[in-house]
Amino acid sequence: MAPVTPLDVHAVPPGTQTGPGSPARLVQDAAAHVFNARNAAGYSAQVLLGVTAVAAKVSRCTRPFTGATPGELKSRVDAVDLGTPLGDTAAALEELEDVYLRDAVYFHDAKYAAHLNCPVVIPALVAEAVLSAVNSSLDTWDQSAGATMIERRLISWAAGQLGLGDSADGVFTSGGSQSNFQALLLARNQTVEWLKLDPEHDGLRLPSLLEKLRIFTSADSHFSIRKSASMLGLGYDAVVSVPCGKDHRMEPAALARELARVRNEGLVPMAVVATAGTTDFGAIDPLDELAAAAREHGAWFHVDAAYGGGLMVSGRHRHLLEGVHRADSVTVDFHKTFFQPVSSSALLVRDAATFRHVTYHADYLNPAAAVDRPNQVDKSIQTTRRFDALKLWLTLRIMGAEAIGVLFDEAIDLASSVAEVLAADPDFELAAPPQLSTLVFRYRPLQPDGRSLSEDAADRLNRDIRSAVFASGEAVVAGTTVAGRHYLKFTLLNAEAGVEDIHGIIELLRTTGASLLADAAVSA
C-alpha cells in the first residue's frame, strides 16, 4: 500500500479546486495538525522539538529569573501578530523563547525559595505528555474508562494512607482552593440535612438558617476558607477566626470557647476547619483535639492538608498528621509536596455518601438510570476534567511513595538547618521555628549607635529588599506580614538545594539590605 500523506486526510471529489487558498486545501492543511493515527509521526517529532527546547533551556539556566519587567514582557507579547500563523513548530518555539521561556520563573533552581511551587518529577512529566494527547475527560465512564478506575484507585490509596476508613471516597480537583470550597459545600448541605430541612419544602426557612451557620478556623488558615464562605452565600462574617498560640497552631481551648459562645447565641456550628501546614509557618493544628471539639458540637471536621498532605508518605515526619483520620474531609495538593505539575489536588471524604450533595443527573451525560456506570461527575463540581491523576499514578509506579517522602523530608530538614543559621545571625530575626519547610524572617541589623532598626523602617526595608532581589533575578523569595509587620519568607521544596545555596540567598538579602540602607543614609 502506498504511504498516506497529509493531503489524503479528506477524499476530494473530482473537479474540486485544491489549489493554495481553496476551501478544500484549507481543510486539508488544518487537518494535518490534528493528532490521530495518520499524523502520529508528526506528533512525535513536534512534541520532541518542544521537549528538547525546554530541556535545553533548563540546562542553561543559572538563576531562577531574568528580572524582566511587566512592561518589557507586555511589549514583546503584544508585538506578536496572532492573525499571521508561523506555520512551523520550530519557528513558533523560537518565538516562544522570546515571549515566555527566557523570562519564565524556574522553580527547579536552588535559589527559588518563594511560594509553594515545587520542582516536578520526571515521571509526572511523562504522564503529562500521555494524558494531554489521549485527552480523556474524567466526567463520565464513556469518556474515560480506564482513567476512571486509575483515579478511583488513587483516591482509595490516599484515603487509606490517611486512615479515613472503608467508606471513604474522593475526587481530584484543580487545587486546594477548589477542594476546600467543595468540602465546605458538602458541610453546608450536610448541616441542612442534619437539621432535617428539605430544600423543596422548607425553602423559605433556608435563608434564615444560612445566616446562622458558622465556620471555625484558625487566624492563620488559608484565605480560601473565607472566600468559600462568601461564595456559599454565608458571607465573610460566617467565619469565626480562632486564635493561635505562639506556635501558630489553633488553640483548642479557644475553639471550645467560640463553639460554646456560638451555641449560646442560637447560631449553628457548621464546620471546624483545621490546617495541616499553614501557608506562612507550616503549622499543623492539634488535629485530635480539634476533631473532638467538632464532634461534641455536631460540626463537620475538615482538614486543609494542601501543604502538609505530603507527610502521609514521609518516612520521618508522618506523626505530625496524627488525628487526620478523624476528619470528615481532607484537602491534599499533590502539586505541592508530592512534586507534581499543576494542577493535581484531591478532596477526600470519610463517607462516600456525602457526595450526594453535589450529584446532578443530566439525561445526555449521566442519567439517573445509568446506575451501573461509575461516572466521576457524580462526585465533582466540575464537568469536563483532565486526567491529572495519571501524573501521581506514574510517579508511584516509577518512583514509589517512599521516594516522594524522602524528597519532602529533605526539604523539612533543610528548613531546620537554615533556621539555625538565621537564628544565629544578628542581622536577621526569625519569626518562629519552622514546622515544615517554610521560614518567616526579616533583615533588621543593629544601627551604628547599637539600636535596632525601627519597626516602620524595617517594614520598608524588607519590602524593598524583596523587590530589589526579584528585579535582579538572582533569587526569588516571598513576603508576608506577621502582626501587621512585613517579613520575608523562604518556602523550601527543592531536595537538591543545600544549606550553602540558601546561605547564598541570605547573603544576597544582607548585601541588598545594607546597600539600601546606605543609599537612604546618603539621601538623608
If DSSP codes are grouped into helix, strand and coil, which group holds residue 259?
A: helix
pLDDT for 370 = 77
- Give residue 13's identity as a one-letter amino acid code: P
pLDDT for 4 = 40
Residue (of 396, 402, 435, 343) closest to 118 by Cα position = 343
Name, in order, each residue with C-beta under 8 angstroms of 517's C-beta and a sequence gap of 6 or more: 445, 461
> How many other CB atoms are there within 10 angstroms of residue 515's CB atom?
12
Q: Which residues pair with 346 in a beta bridge?
A: 172, 332
Measured CA distances, 155 to 24, 139, 160, 170 (Å): 48, 15, 8, 6
Residues of the chain with CATH 3.40.640.10: 136-398
Q: Which helix (H) or strand (E) holds 180?
A: helix 176-194
The single-letter DSSP state of residue 302 is E
Q: Give the predicted TM-score (pTM) of the model.
A: 0.93
Q: Which residues pair with 330 in a beta bridge?
A: 303, 348
Residue 483 in grid coordinates:
502582626
Q: In what order do the strands lie in the sheet with 169-173?
A: 169-173, 345-349, 329-333, 300-305, 268-275, 213-218, 239-242
pLDDT for 448 = 84
Q: Which helix (H) or strand (E) holds 214?
A: strand 213-218
Residue (of 426, 432, 415) closest to 483 by Cα position = 432
CATH class of 136-398: alpha beta
Q: Which helix (H) or strand (E) holds 363?
A: none
Q: What does 457-481 look like in DSSP terms, one character per residue?
A: HHHHHHHHHHHHHHHHTS-EEEEEE
pLDDT for 201 = 54
Residue 469 in grid coordinates:
532581589
Measured CA distances, 464 to 183, 222, 224, 229 (Å): 39, 25, 28, 34
Taking the C-alpha atoms of residue 232 and residue 321, their distance in angstroms, rounded to an integer, is 28
CATH class of 403-523: alpha beta
pLDDT for 454 = 93
Residues of the chain with CATH 3.90.1150.170: 403-523
The CA radius of gyration of the chain, in Å to the nearest whole number, is 27
pLDDT for 8 = 46
pLDDT for 2 = 41
The single-letter DSSP state of residue 317 is S
pLDDT for 239 = 98
pLDDT for 17 = 61
pLDDT for 205 = 59
Split the chain (524 residues) into runs of 10 and give each run's mean pLDDT: 42 59 84 93 95 96 96 97 95 97 96 96 98 96 95 98 98 97 96 72 64 96 97 95 97 98 95 98 98 97 98 97 98 98 97 95 86 90 96 98 98 97 97 97 91 94 98 97 97 95 98 94 68
